[in-house]
Every structure is written in structure tokens, then in C-alpha cells.
Structure 1
Amino acid sequence: MSDFFSGFADLVARLADLLQPVFQGSATAAAIVLFTMAVRLAVHPLSRAAARGQKARAKLAPQLAELRKKHAKNPDRLQKAVMELHAKEQVSPFSGCLPSLLQLPAFFLMYHLFSNAEISGEPNSLLGHTLFAAPLGGRWHDALGDGGPFGPAGLVYLGLFALVAAVATFNYRRTKRQMAASPTPAGAEGQTVPGMGAMMKFMPLMSFMTLFTVAVVPLAAALYVVTSTTWSAVERAVLYRDMPGMAGAPAHAL
């Protein structure tokens, strides 16, 4: 396993060397952003498949409404009937989770790489690299202790927080519009899958959890999260542009 982390560290270092003429001292940070984009591009086919699945589920709304009406007094029979309908139409209610799950190993790899002083028994030279004035192995509380929120490192985090807040607000408003315009009430469909109703109510707020993540993980891992979240916002805006509630929405709306 140590050889694996060492190999990944070498990959990041080599990529940073290629970017150094353009990004100078922030070349390693740029390499992390580029690596994140490569990961997102690799899972993009799954994101497209998830979008097709969600659109297919939206088309099943009339049939789901009929099933709820037919089995209103029998929740167990309703749940079974809905699952049978999903199986018949080859639609999975959880297909949208797969792209996110496949990104977790890449995130934890970045987290581990910038959380350890040594790799394979050798000093971790990547910890000395920075994004402007903020060390890639540092955390927000380190920046607060070294100049405060408006110090050189603190300003880097404020920029990341501002970007995350903008993306989260865009996602929040977009999700609320889509849920409000959905022909199938979220609460009603949530009855077919245990816990789905509560998750649907909480879903619009999930993007803001990224602010907490950025605040507590190493800056390198925070860069991965911010880049991935921004990619997701743009990707979903394109893939789901013809979903209910998206028609006529201004592209610049936040």
C-alpha cells in the first residue's frame, strides 16, 4: 500500500513539474485541480447514465401515482409494487449515487497523501507546496492561527468558501425549483423507500455541507472537493436542463 501512495505522490509531482512554468509556486495545487477534473471526466459516462435514469423515473410518475392510489391502505404492497415497476422498466432509484461513490477513493487518496509527514519512509515533500500563501497540507485552523481569517493563508480559504457558497446556493435554488415542479411529490414517493422522504427534504441543503468539509480537511483535499463540487454543478445543469422546473431558468441564476 505504501508503494501505491508513493506512486501517486510521484504522479502529482510529475504533473506539477509540467505545470510549473505556467502556475509557478501553485503548480502542485493546479495539478490537484487537473487530477480532479480527470477523475470527474472518467466517471462522466456514469453521470450521464444516472441522468437518463432520473428522467426515466420522472416519466414513471403517472404510474407511481396510480399505484399509490391503488395501494393507499397497504404500504407493504405499495412498496413491492413500486419496486416491481422499477425492475420492469429497468430503473434504479439509487443509480444517481454511483458516480459519487466512485469518487470517494480518489478523495481519500488525496486526503491521505497530504495528511502524512512521510510516504514509504521518506519525508513527504508535497507538504511544502502551497496555493498562494496557504500550505496544501494545512487546514483552516492553521490559517486562523497564522494571520487570522484575513491573513495571507486565511484569504485563500475565504476565496474557497465564497466559491463553495456560490455553487451551493446555485444547487439549492435549482434543486428546490426541480422538486417544486416535479409531478410526483417528494414526500409521496418517499413512502415507497424507507427514509427517502426525509432524504428528499434534506437534499437541497446538502451542498452547504461542503463548507464544513473544506474547513476541516487538508487544503489539497479541499481543492479536490471544491473542484468536484463545481464540476457537478455545471454537469447537472447541462444533463438535467430539460427536467421539470429547469425550463426557462436563467443560466446565470445563483
Structure 2
Amino acid sequence: MDLFALPPLALLLEMTTRALLGLTAVFDPLVGGAAATLAIVAVTVAVRLLLLPVGVSQARAEQTRARLAPRLRALQERWRTNPERLQRETMQLYRDEGASPLAGCLPVLAQAPVVGLLYAVFLHPTVGGQPNALLAHDLWGAPLGRSLVSVITTGTPDATALVVPGLVIAVIAGAAELTRRLLRPPHDPAAPAWMGTITGALHFSTAVVAMFVPLAAGVYLAVTTVWTLVQRLLLRRRYPLPV
């Protein structure tokens, strides 16, 4: 069942497609064939600007968690035999300080609907009863409506259709690795063990997702991953972690 056949989602899909086509028409005189890609970049920048307050809150929360680390270790030592009490005391400490151990996940979760919409837009051959004109656009010869996996598994792919998505995925993986190395979060002794596993996996899950979604959504993911790296580097200088 296609969820975007439901009237509310169908309307949202049509509005998103029209907005992207409008931006593409604006950029076409400037960049020609790259207009649709530039439209996706513009949407990405707009979304990230809207999420800037979330990024600032994330940086503040990370600074707070680093400052609270000694007190969290003390709580863990005191209540190590009483996990329920440890959890209550830990959450109370976070509430008192206005922080959350889950703050780092918010930017990723907030962007999921945007990625889902881009995926849907470039997956539907018709939108609103009309042919989807966005599917005629490409990036350096690679169709924006095809994923790397679909290129590999259907027919005989040409070099361009493989190399361009591969480069986009490489940018995502490279930015994620730099983020992991340069902005490693402080160890939180009170955080559940699975939190570290999830955080580490999230760094590279975006690159995996980009292999399966249309190239258009991959472009969004590449731009937002690089944005995240630069934004966090700047915010780390504004909200440095205690030594």
C-alpha cells in the first residue's frame, strides 16, 4: 500500500513536488542542468536554518553533560546496587540542570520526515495525476530518481550512474567520520550502555541509508551531514567542554 495515496499525504507530496519544481525553475537560468540539485541544496539549507535552535540546545546539553560527569559518576557509585534509584536520581539531575541524555538524537529525528518526503517525491512517476518532471533531472549525468542499489541491481549500469552516487556516499561517510573523531562526546557514566552503541551507529547509518534512497535524497543527506560537522565545530568553540 502506498501511504502517499492517502489524501493528506498525497497533498503534501504534490505541494513538495511543486515547491521543488518552482525552485528548479528559479535556478535553471543560473546553473542549467544542475538546477534540481541546487533546489535540493536550498531546501536542505532552509531546513538546517530552521533547526539551528535545536543544534544550539544540543551543544548546550553536551556541555552540561560533560560538566555533570563527576556527579553522575558519584550517583553511579552510590546507587550501583539499586538500578531503579540510580535511574530516578540521574533523570532528576538532568531535569534540575535542564539537560537530556537524548538531546543528541533530536536533529537526526527532526530531519527524518524531510528525507522521507524527498524519497517519496523522486520515487513516484506521477504526482497529482501529472508526470513527475523532477525525474527528468540528473546530477552530472546520474538520475536523481535512482539509488545506488537500484543502479547496481537493475540492468547494466554506466560509470556515471555508479560514480556520482558513490561520491555522494563518500562525502557522507567522510563527514561522519570527521564528526566522530573531532567531536567525540564526553563519556557519560550514567548513560545506558546501548546509548553509546546507537550513537556510534548513527554516525555511519546515514551513509548506509544513502545507498538505498534516490540520489536526490542522498544529496540532501550529504549536505546536511557536512552542515552538521561545520555547525558542531563552531558551536563547540562557543560552548567548549570543561577540561
TM-score bin, normalised by smaller chain: 0.7 to 0.9
CA distance in 2 between partners of 1:159 and 1:38 (Å): 23
Superposed CA offset, 1:122-172 (max 9, x none): 111111111111111112134335664x61221212221221232122123
The superposition leaves residues 29-75 of structure 1 with CA deviations (integer Å, 9 ceiling, x where unpaired) of 11001101110111111110121122112211222122122222222
Does the aligned pair in 2 maintain the 1:134–1:143 contact within 8 Å?
no
Q: Give the TM-score normalised by the residue count of structure 1.
A: 0.83
For the 8 Å contact 1:147–1:153, the answer to whether it is kept is no
Which has the higher relative contact order, 1 or 2, with Cα contacts under 8 A spaced 6 or more apart?
Answer: 2
Q: Which residue of structure 2 lines up, in the alignment, with residue 218 of structure 1?
A: 214
Which residue matches 1:233?
A: 229
Match of 2:32 among 9, 12, 24: 24
Q: Distance in 2 between matches of 1:160 and 1:110?
A: 16
**1:68-126 residue CA offsets vs partner (Å, 9 max, x unmatched):** 22222222211111111112222222223222222122111111111111111111111
RMSD: 2.0
Q: How does 1:36-185 map to 2 (within 5 A)?
A: 36-144=44-152, 148=157, 151-175=159-183, 178-179=184-185, 182=186, 185=187
Query: What amino acid sits opposite 1:21 in the alignment?
Result: P
Q: Hey, what's the Cα distance between the residues in 1 that align with 2:25 and 2:70?
A: 56
Shift of residue 243, structure 1, vs aligned partner: 2.5
Aligned to 1:250: none
* Structure 2 Cα separation of the partners of residues 142 and 103 of structure 1: 24
> SS of the residue aligned with 2:169?
helix
Partner of 1:203: 199
| Partner of residue 5, structure 2 | none
Equivalent residue for 2:190?
189
Q: Is the 8 Å Cα contact of residues 134 and 152 (structure 1) preserved in structure 2? A: yes
Question: Aligned to 2:233, what secondary structure does the other structure show?
Answer: helix
For 2:205 and 2:140, the matched residues in 1 are separated by 25
What is the identity, as a one-letter code, of the residue corresponding to 2:134?
L
Measured in 1, the distance between the counterparts of 2:230 and 2:29 equals 29
CA distance in 2, matches of 1:44, 1:225: 16
CA 157–244 in structure 1, closer or farther in 2 if over 3 Å, else same: farther
Range moving further from structure 2, 229-238 or 94-103: 94-103
Offset of residue 203 of structure 1:
2.4
Whether the 8 Å contact between 2:67 and 2:242 is mirrored in structure 1 is no
State the AA in 2 paired with 1:5: L
1:2-21 map, 5 Å:
2-21=10-29
Q: Distance in 1 between matches of 2:130 and 2:147?
A: 22
- Alpha carbons of 1:244 and 1:197: their partners in 2 closer, same or farther (altered >3 Å)? farther
- How many Å apart are 1:199 and its aligned residue? 2.5
Structure 2 gaps of 5+ residues are 1-7
Cα offset, 1:16, TM superposition = 0.9
Residues 1:243 and 2:205 aligned together: no
**C-alpha spacing 1:25/1:114, structure 2 compared with 1 (3 Å):** same
Distance 1:99 1:202 in 2: 15
